[in-house]
């Protein structure tokens, strides 16, 4: 199975080495498996035929079956255009070509039955289709009607005759070869539990769905599978990290209890208490923690982060609190300073705008261990910023940082990733 899907796309009929190299560059696909996952971004309804007399303004696209009764050539040079008078039993419409005129005159014969597809445009009470897709009606039998896939391509690919229609033809050939090699990685019990169609069926109908029902089933199956394996990988990485890397054990909760019973002027919600207890349990476990705290705006996530930082500070370590913007970092600094100072905890703010004198003072506080909580922006992860003993890092709105890996705070770190 793996061998088949790792075959280079140059061996697929209709591609070859030159086109394969162009697809590699333009789309980033190199093998059969890559190309098979080049899903359509939209679909055109080819399941119904319109009559010329039923065409209306604002109609997105229309598929019509009929014949060209004659051709007319109008204009000269670059302004030349070819008009085909296309009829069905209800009326007549103009098919217009501005390019490829000689090819159309050679390949399209008046009097034969064709299926045309395009966007009808009204001009002087008469509809026309500019550069419509056209093929003999014998190629469009009822059992071949489907939602026609439209694939992303590029101008360079189109110039090499690799437009969406060409990719569609290549995909049919690829699917025909691939179907015997496709294996379903989801266990039958999971497919049955979540009403998922099998992998072969989903790939066929994501590319060439017979109708909207089959398309929705295919999309649901493929989306579920993608998220399922992402989640499975995250769980695997988490278990491996917990097993491989040891964390700092935090057992002293006196500072937290002092703040909660003496300085906290409002009551925590049940959800806030639950989150803090879960995090404290991780702290006591001696394993590295990577936790996401998520909630609505104003639900109290920042105070949860601060109370967890109190546990770290109470166990003689330091904390970093990183925000995506200077404005947000300053807001957090001034807000948490009111809680920290009555407890005798030194807190500071570091951003890209911080002056050299401030940076020097902050670094001295970090080196000595006197500075317990440092709030800031990306400036926190600069190489020159060194913590004496960092125990906890809180990342505010991590999704706004655009980073591929966790900040380089060191191996022995307890990391809470928050979306505040």
| Whole-model pTM over 0.85 | no
Q: Is 69 within the bounds of a domain?
A: yes
Q: Write the CATH number for 7.
A: 1.10.150
Contact criterion met (CB below 8 Å) for 89 and 72: no
Q: Is 196 within the bounds of a domain?
A: yes
pLDDT for the residue 100: 84
Residues 363 and 274 in one domain: yes
Query: Does residue 91 come out as left (phi exceeding 0), alpha (psi in the -120 to 50 range) or beta?
Result: left
Distance CA 233, CA 235 (A): 5
Token digits of residue 271: 């959800």
Residues 272 and 367 in one domain: yes
Residues 13 and 160 in one domain: yes
Q: Which of 164, 181, 198 is the last residue of a domain?
A: 181
Average pLDDT, the chain: 87
Residues 111 and 173 in one domain: no
Residues 217 and 324 in one domain: no
pLDDT for the residue 175: 95
Q: Which residues, 6+ apart, have CB-to-CB distance to 419 below 8 Å?
A: 292, 293, 294, 301, 397, 398, 399
Q: Which has the closest alpha carbon to 364: 380, 387, 334, 390? A: 387
Q: Write the CATH number for 53.
A: 2.40.50.140
Q: Which of 226, 244, 262 is the last residue of a domain?
A: 244
Residue 316 in this model has a pLDDT that exceeds 50 = yes
Q: What is the pLDDT of residues 93-117, one digit of tens each?
A: 999 999 888 888 888 999 899 999 8
Q: What are phi and psi of 280, to 5 degrees?
A: -65, -35
Q: Which has the closest alpha carbon to 208: 177, 169, 236, 246? A: 169
Residue 284 in this model has a pLDDT that exceeds 50 = yes
pLDDT for the residue 411: 29
Q: Write the CATH number for 325.
A: 3.40.50.300
Q: Is 34 within the bounds of a domain?
A: yes
Residues 262 and 159 in one domain: no
| Average pLDDT of the residues in 253-267 | 91
| Average pLDDT of the residues in 60-73 | 90
Q: Which residues pair with 389 in a beta bridge?
A: none
Q: What is the pLDDT of residues 343-399, one digit of tens each?
A: 999 999 999 999 999 999 999 999 999 999 999 999 998 889 999 999 999 998 766
Token digits of residue 392: 């906890």
Residues 135 and 38 in one domain: no
Residues 153 and 141 in one domain: no
Q: How confident is the model at residue 140 (pLDDT cuts 50, 70, 90)?
A: low
Residues 109 and 37 in one domain: no
Q: Which of 181, 198, 231 is the last residue of a domain?
A: 181
Q: How confident is the model at residue 402 (pLDDT cuts 50, 70, 90)?
A: low
Q: How confident is the model at residue 139 (pLDDT cuts 50, 70, 90)?
A: low
Residues 217 and 278 in one domain: no
Q: Is 270 within the bounds of a domain?
A: yes
Residue 143 in this model has a pLDDT that exceeds 60 = no
Task: Determine which of 144-148, 228-232, 306-310, 379-383 has the lowest per-residue pLDDT on average.
Answer: 144-148
pLDDT for the residue 165: 87
Residue 256 in this model has a pLDDT that exceeds 80 = yes
Residues 27 and 137 in one domain: no
Token digits of residue 318: 């330091």
pLDDT for the residue 213: 94
355-to-117, 164, 219, 329, 358 alpha-carbon distances in Å: 65, 56, 53, 16, 5
Distance CA 410, CA 403 (A): 16
Distance CA 206, CA 37 (A): 10
What is the tally of structural domains in the chain? 4
Residues 227 and 88 in one domain: no
141-to-47, 134, 147, 159, 239 alpha-carbon distances in Å: 11, 14, 14, 30, 54
Q: Is 249 within the bounds of a domain?
A: no
Domain range for 56 is 48-145
């Amino acid at each position: 199975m793996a061998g088949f899907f790792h075959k280079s796309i140059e061996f697929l009929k209709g591609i070859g080495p030159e086109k394969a190299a162009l697809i590699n560059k333009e789309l980033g696909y190199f093998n059969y498996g890559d190309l098979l996952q080049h899903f359509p971004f939209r679909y055109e309804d080819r399941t119904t035929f319109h009559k010329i007399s039923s065409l209306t303004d604002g109609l997105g696209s229309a598929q019509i079956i009929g014949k060209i009764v004659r051709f007319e050539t109008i204009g000269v040079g670059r302004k030349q255009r070819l008009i085909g008078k296309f009829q069905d039993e209800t009326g007549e419409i103009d098919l217009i070509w501005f390019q490829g005129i000689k090819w159309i005159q050679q390949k399209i014969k008046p009097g034969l039955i064709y299926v045309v597809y395009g966007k009808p445009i009204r001009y002087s009470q008469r509809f026309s289709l500019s550069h419509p897709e056209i093929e003999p009606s014998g190629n469009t039998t009822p059992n071949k009607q489907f939602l026609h896939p439209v694939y992303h391509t590029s101008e360079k690919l189109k110039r090499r005759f690799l437009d969406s229609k060409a990719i569609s033809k290549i995909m049919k050939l690829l699917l025909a070869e691939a179907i015997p090699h496709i294996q379903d990685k989801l266990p039958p019990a999971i497919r049955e539990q979540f009403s998922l169609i099998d992998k072969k069926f989903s790939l066929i109908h994501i590319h060439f769905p017979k109708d909207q029902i089959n398309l929705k089933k295919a999309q649901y199956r493929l989306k579920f599978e993608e998220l399922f394996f992402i989640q499975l990988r995250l769980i695997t990485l988490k278990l491996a990290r917990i097993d491989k890397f040891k964390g700092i054990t935090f057992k002293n909760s006196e500072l937290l209890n002092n703040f909660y019973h003496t300085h906290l002027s409002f009551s925590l919600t049940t959800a806030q208490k639950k989150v803090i207890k879960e995090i404290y349990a991780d702290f006591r476990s001696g394993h590295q923690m990577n936790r996401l705290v998520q909630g609505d705006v104003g639900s109290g996530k920042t105070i949860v982060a601060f109370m967890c930082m109190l546990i770290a500070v109470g166990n003689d370590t330091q904390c970093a609190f990183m925000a995506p913007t200077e404005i947000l970092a300053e807001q957090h600094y001034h807000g948490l300073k009111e809680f920290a100072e009555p407890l005798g905890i030194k807190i500071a703010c570091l951003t890209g705008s911080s002056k050299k004198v401030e940076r020097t003072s902050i670094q001295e506080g970090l080196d000595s261990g006197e500075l317990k909580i440092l709030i800031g922006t990306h400036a926190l992860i600069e190489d020159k910023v060194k913590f004496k003993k960092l125990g906890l890092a809180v990342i505010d709105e991590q999704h706004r940082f655009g980073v591929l890996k966790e900040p380089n705070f060191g191996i022995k770190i307890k990391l809470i990733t928050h979306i505040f």
